[in-house]
């Protein structure tokens, strides 16, 4: 957050106008002086839509430019949902799919596809950005087509996050979970479990409840049979309210873990698809942002965009997602700083709904961009009437130049 905020401020220090713009303005001034005719210039236009380059007027132009602000707000809400959801993905996987954790390595790598997904997502996102840029450069789509694509991928993302609510393990019950808290089951009451035991789910023989750890299932010993971890001398079985008269067995992993793994892989594939689709619209959003403002305001517009994204995503956005994580925690560490497991399905459902709502709000702003961006020129040199659309407030540069000369 602070790094993006600083980068946004640094971008604001870039020149208000590009060198080519300054050269063209200087040439126009020379022609005007030589011909004593203020209606002549290099391109035959009698005026320039350029304005005061001081900070306050520049900020006013940027924040009163509806297309830019709508476009930035769309990006802010979408990134707030997507980035914060990804930040809580480890806890989400624990809650929805009962993946075990380790004190040292975080999520265990018993499912190698988890590592593959983590390595695959960044290059897929980068490839989507590069390909979308190449397609835009080749096809030169209209501004409404760019905005329409952003609306489409946003709606698809909303639909997928709603679908994620129903992609979870069939057996979502953990033994001892009650009213958002996790207690040791009665059948394991004679066991003294460590305070900071990580989530290591086990399933008793013929059991329907997943136990938080071997200790919570009353298991005393551990062995391996055909590369399968089996816990023996367990006091818990199908009925968590009764101690087994004959010590039972429990296997590592949640009950129904084979079906759970299938759902988890589906979720991972779809999550990569969501990231790829949303990334494909970033280039179009950037083009709309920099073409919706005066040439002298491009750097400031980009800095405002980065600053707002950094502030909203990592301050109120992070706080909202963290509040959900705290309220849904079932089992805290002894120092109350780490949550070992979150309530299922409440935690996952709440995260998916919040993320879908944030992206949907971003889509609403994309719809506003689609409505107002119709006459925005996106390609070639900046035409002189490019800023005469509804939200721009043009001021003739020659009037400012004359004032500047008189004042000097």
pTM beyond cutoff 0.85: no
Provide CB contacts within 8 A for 102, sequence distance 6+.
108, 198
- Residues of the chain above pLDDT 90, percent: 36
Provide CB contacts within 8 A for 406, sequence distance 6+.
none
How many C-beta atoms surround the C-beta of residue 26 within 10 A?
A: 10
Contact 218, 235 (CB under 8 A): yes
Work out the burial of residue 134: count CB atoms within 10 Å of its CB; fewer than 13 is exposed, 13-18 middle, 19 or more buried: exposed
Peptide bond into 345 cis (omega under 30): yes
pLDDT at res. 115: 62
Helices (H), 313-385: 318-327, 346-372
pLDDT band at 60 (very low <50, low <70, confident <90, very high): confident
Mean pLDDT of 324-352: 88
Q: Over the stretch 128-181, which tens digit does the pLDDT of each residue have?
A: 999 999 999 999 999 999 999 999 999 999 999 999 999 887 766 788 887 668
pLDDT band at 367 (very low <50, low <70, confident <90, very high): very high
Tell me what the pLDDT averaged over the chain comes to.
81
pLDDT at res. 256: 75
Please state the domain extents for the chain. Answer: 2-17+53-170+259-376, 177-255
Mean pLDDT of 201-228: 87
Q: How far apart are CA 214 and CA 231, in angstroms?
A: 7
pLDDT at res. 380: 67
Work out the burial of residue 50: count CB atoms within 10 Å of its CB; fewer than 13 is exposed, 13-18 middle, 19 or more buried: buried
pLDDT at res. 150: 96
**Domain spanning 2-17+53-170+259-376 has what CATH number?**
1.20.1250.20
Element (H, E) at 38: none
Q: Which is higher by pLDDT, 224 or 72? A: 72
Q: Over the stretch 190-200, which tens digit does the pLDDT of each residue have?
A: 888 887 888 88
Q: Which is higher by pLDDT, 53 or 393? A: 53
CA distances to 17, 281, 306 from 392, in Å: 17, 24, 21
Q: Over the stretch 84-110, which tens digit does the pLDDT of each residue have?
A: 999 998 889 888 888 776 533 444 544
- Residues of the chain above pLDDT 70, percent: 75
Mean pLDDT of 312-325: 94
Mean pLDDT of 183-188: 87
pLDDT at res. 229: 86
pLDDT at res. 384: 47
pLDDT at res. 95: 86
Kindly tell me if the per-residue pLDDT of 394 is higher than 60: no
pLDDT at res. 113: 55
Kindly tell me if the per-residue pLDDT of 26 is higher than 50: yes
pLDDT at res. 4: 63
Q: How far apart are CA 348 and CA 373, in angstroms?
A: 37
Q: How far apart are CA 51 and CA 309, in angstroms?
A: 27
Contact 214, 188 (CB under 8 A): no
Helix (H/G/I), strand (E/B), else coil: 232: strand
Mean pLDDT of 37-57: 57
How many C-beta atoms surround the C-beta of residue 201 within 10 A?
A: 27
pLDDT at res. 255: 84
Mean pLDDT of 7-31: 62
Residue whose pair of structure tokens reads 């995260």 in the numeric block: 351
Kindly tell me if the per-residue pLDDT of 345 is higher than 90: no
Strands (E) in 168-327, as ranges, are: 177-178, 181-182, 202-204, 221-225, 228-234, 248-252
Helices (H), 14-107: 19-35, 55-63, 66-87, 89-97
- Measured at the CA of 348, the angle between CA 274 and CA 350, to 5 degrees, comes to 95
Mean pLDDT of 352-377: 94
pLDDT at res. 178: 74
Query: Which region among 80-84, 126-130, 337-341 has the lowest average model confidence (pLDDT)?
Result: 337-341
Mean pLDDT of 53-57: 80
Nearest C-alpha neighbor of 50 from the set 400, 402, 407, 405 = 400
pLDDT at res. 404: 45
Q: How far apart are CA 135 and CA 128, in angstroms?
A: 10
Q: Which of 52-56, 73-77, 265-269 has the highest mean pLDDT?
A: 73-77
Question: What are the DSSP calls for 69-84, one per residue?
Answer: HHHHHHHHHHHHHHHH
- Measured at the CA of 261, the angle between CA 256 and CA 262, to 5 degrees, comes to 105
Q: How far apart are CA 322 and CA 351, in angstroms?
A: 10
Q: How many residues does the chain have?
A: 408
């Amino acid at each position: 957050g602070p790094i993006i905020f600083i980068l946004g401020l640094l971008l604001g220090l870039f020149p208000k106008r590009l060198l080519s713009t300054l050269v063209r303005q200087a040439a126009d001034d020379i022609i005007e002086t030589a011909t004593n005719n203020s209606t002549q210039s290099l391109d035959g236009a009698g005026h320039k839509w350029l304005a005061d380059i001081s900070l306050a007027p520049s900020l006013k132009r940027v924040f009163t430019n509806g297309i830019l602000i709508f476009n930035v707000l769309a990006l802010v809400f979408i990134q707030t949902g997507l980035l914060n959801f990804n930040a809580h993905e480890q806890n989400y996987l624990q809650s929805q799919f009962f993946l075990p954790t380790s004190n040292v390595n975080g999520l265990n790598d018993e499912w190698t596809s988890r590592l593959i997904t983590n390595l695959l997502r960044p290059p897929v996102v980068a490839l989507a950005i590069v390909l979308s840029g190449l397609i835009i450069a080749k096809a030169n789509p209209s501004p409404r087509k760019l905005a329409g694509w952003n609306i489409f991928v946003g709606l698809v993302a909303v639909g997928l996050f709603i679908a994620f609510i129903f992609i979870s393990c069939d057996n979502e019950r953990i033994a001892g979970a009650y009213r958002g808290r996790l207690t040791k089951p009665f059948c394991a009451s004679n066991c003294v479990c460590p305070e900071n035991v990580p989530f290591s789910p086990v399933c008793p023989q013929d059991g329907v409840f997943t136990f938080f750890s071997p200790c919570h299932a009353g298991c005393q010993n551990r062995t391996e049979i055909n590369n399968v971890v089996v816990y023996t001398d367990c006091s818990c079985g199908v009925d968590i309210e009764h101690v087994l008269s004959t010590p039972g067995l429990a296997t590592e992993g949640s009950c129904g873990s084979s079906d759970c793994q299938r759902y988890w892989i589906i979720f991972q594939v779809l999550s990569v698809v969501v990231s790829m689709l949303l990334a494909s619209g970033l280039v179009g959003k950037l083009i709309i942002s920099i073409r919706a403002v005066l040439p002298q305001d491009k750097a400031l517009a980009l800095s405002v965009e980065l600053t707002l994204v950094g502030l909203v995503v990592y301050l109120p956005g992070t706080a909202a997602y963290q509040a959900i994580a705290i309220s849904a925690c079932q089992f805290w560490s002894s120092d109350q700083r780490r949550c070992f497991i979150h309530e299922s399905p409440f935690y996952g459902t709440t995260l998916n709904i919040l993320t879908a709502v944030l992206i949907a709000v971003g889509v609403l702003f994309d719809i506003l961009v689609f409505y107002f961006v119709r006459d925005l020129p996106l390609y070639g040199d900046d035409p002189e009437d490019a800023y005469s659309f509804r939200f721009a407030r043009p001021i003739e540069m020659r009037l400012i130049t004359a004032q500047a000369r008189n004042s000097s």
